[in-house]
Amino acid sequence: MKKDFLALNQFTKAELDDLFTLTRELKEKQKKGIEHHLLKGKTVALIFEKSSTRTRVSFEVGVFQLGGHGLFISSATSQMGRGEPIRDTARTIARYCDGVMIRTYGQEVVEEFARYSSVPVINGLTDLFHPCQVMADLFTVIEHRGGYQGLKFAWIGDGNNMANTWVEAATVFGFDLTLACPPGYEPDEKVLAWARDRATSKIVLTHDPKEAAKDADVLNTDVWASMGQEQEQQEREQAFAGFQLNEALLDEAKGNCMVLHCLPAHRGEEISDDVIEGPHSAVWDEAENRLHVQKAIMATLMV
């Protein structure tokens, strides 16, 4: 039976840890120039209904390094943009390709796509989740800190797709997470309820960024207005005043803390220039690890 990668809640900790093991192997092979053509002769459709730099480039390069071929498909220039039903697109593309990555708005779109696709579907970001990114983030933490167990994670800012995915990650992997979001910008209620039911980790919600940053090992933030929310930029700037990840906030965290940001970043808004460029920032390793983690995901689902 084919398996999709739509959300972290579909997986056990052991399955995701296996993905990290394969990520490490593939990264080492790529660095040493050892061939690892696990997708030789295979084709992966990369469908984008939103903009992208990292996701597009890392998937295209990743498929190539695995010996396969990636096809960039923009919804604007395909029949999807003219209203062809998702289920028709999904069944058609599955007749040509061995896998699909899709970036879109509603999580229900990737779910419908996956239901009708006979080949594996990977979520490349929806309004609800960004699972490839959080896997890359955690892999970066493992590389820098030797693991994630026992570390205190902080989320500062919008309760958006990244924050929701961190809530799922904390629950599946079992680490403590404190999220500081302005009132009205908390993570998705259903995702929080799912995490509360499982109760496998301590997840704290606060409106105080200092409380989240206190003694944190890993601090994470993201833009205040995500793709699709551009018209809310001004009101969000007001609501998020005081939620910038800056040096003053880092003073609350552990001395050897790490700073993550999925990028693209708005310096001077959710993160200060000195923090993103500073010694605690791991954002470039984080961006690179999208490539390695996604290769492991594709190889696991599509071989």
- Active-site residues, by number, are 103, 130, 133, 222, 262, 290
Name residue 191's amino acid: V
Q: Which among 15-23, 66-74, 212-220, 258-266 is the span making contact with ligand CP, rule CB under 6 A?
A: 258-266
Q: Which residue has the tokens 């990636």?
A: 70
Binding-site member from 23, 55, 75, 226 for ligand CP (CB under 6 A): 55
Query: Which residues, numbered 214-253, are part of the site for ligand NVA (CB under 6 A)?
Result: 222-223, 226-227
At closest approach, how far in Å is the CB of 211 from ligand NVA? 23
Q: Are strands 152-156 and 218-221 parallel, antiparallel or unpaired?
A: parallel
Query: According to the binding rule CB under 6 A, does residue 229 interact with ligand CP?
Result: no
CB closest to ligand CP, residue no:
55
Concatenate the DSSP letters of all residues of the chain into one string: ----BS-GGGS-HHHHHHHHHHHHHHHHHHHHT----TTTT-EEEEEESS--SHHHHHHHHHHHHTT-EEEEEEGGGSGGGGT--HHHHHHHHHHH-SEEEEE-S-HHHHHHHHHH-SS-EEE---SS--HHHHHHHHHHHHHHHS-STTPEEEEES--SHHHHHHHHHHHHHT-EEEEE--TT-PPPHHHHHHHHHH--S-EEEES-HHHHHTT-SEEEE--SS-TT-GGGHHHHHHHTTT--B-HHHHTTS-TT-EEEE-S---BTTTB-HHHHTSTTB-HHHHHHHHHHHHHHHHHHHH-
Kindly write out the interface string for residues 115-144 of this chain, putting x where it contacts ligand CP by CB under 6 A and - elsewhere.
----------x-------x-----------
Q: Indicate which of ligand NVA, ligand CP, none lies near residue 53 (CB less than 5 to 8 Å, by partner kind).
A: ligand CP
Tokens of 84: 């062809």
Q: How many residues does the chain have?
A: 303
At closest approach, how far in Å is the CB of 153 from ligand NVA? 17
Count residues contacting ligand CP (CB under 6 A)?
9
Query: Which residues, numbered 87-126, are part of the site for ligand NVA (CB under 6 A)?
Result: 125
Sign of the torsion angle spanned by Cα atoms 6, 7, 12, 15 = positive
Count residues contacting ligand NVA (CB under 6 A)?
9
Q: Which among 53-61, 170-178, 241-249, 272-280 is the span making contact with ligand CP, rule CB under 6 A?
A: 53-61
Q: Indicate which of ligand CP, ligand NVA, none lies near residue 160 (CB less than 5 to 8 Å, by partner kind).
A: ligand NVA
Q: Which among 47-55, 204-212, 241-249, 267-275 is the span making contact with ligand CP, rule CB under 6 A?
A: 47-55
Kindly write out the interface string for residues 254-283 of this chain, putting x where it contacts ligand NVA by CB under 6 A and - elsewhere.
--------x---------------------
Kindly write out the interface string for residues 156-175 of this chain, putting x where it contacts ligand NVA by CB under 6 A and - elsewhere.
----xxx-------------
Q: Are strands 69-74 and 43-48 parallel, antiparallel or unpaired?
A: parallel
Q: Indicate which of ligand CP, ligand NVA, none lies near residue 223 (CB less than 5 to 8 Å, by partner kind).
A: ligand NVA
Q: Indicate which of ligand CP, ligand NVA, none lies near residue 117 (CB less than 5 to 8 Å, by partner kind).
A: none
The whole-angstrom separation of Cα 156 and Cα 212 is 7
**Footprint on this chain of ligand NVA (rule: CB under 6 A):** 125, 160-162, 222-223, 226-227, 262
**Footprint on this chain of ligand CP (rule: CB under 6 A):** 52-55, 125, 133, 262-264
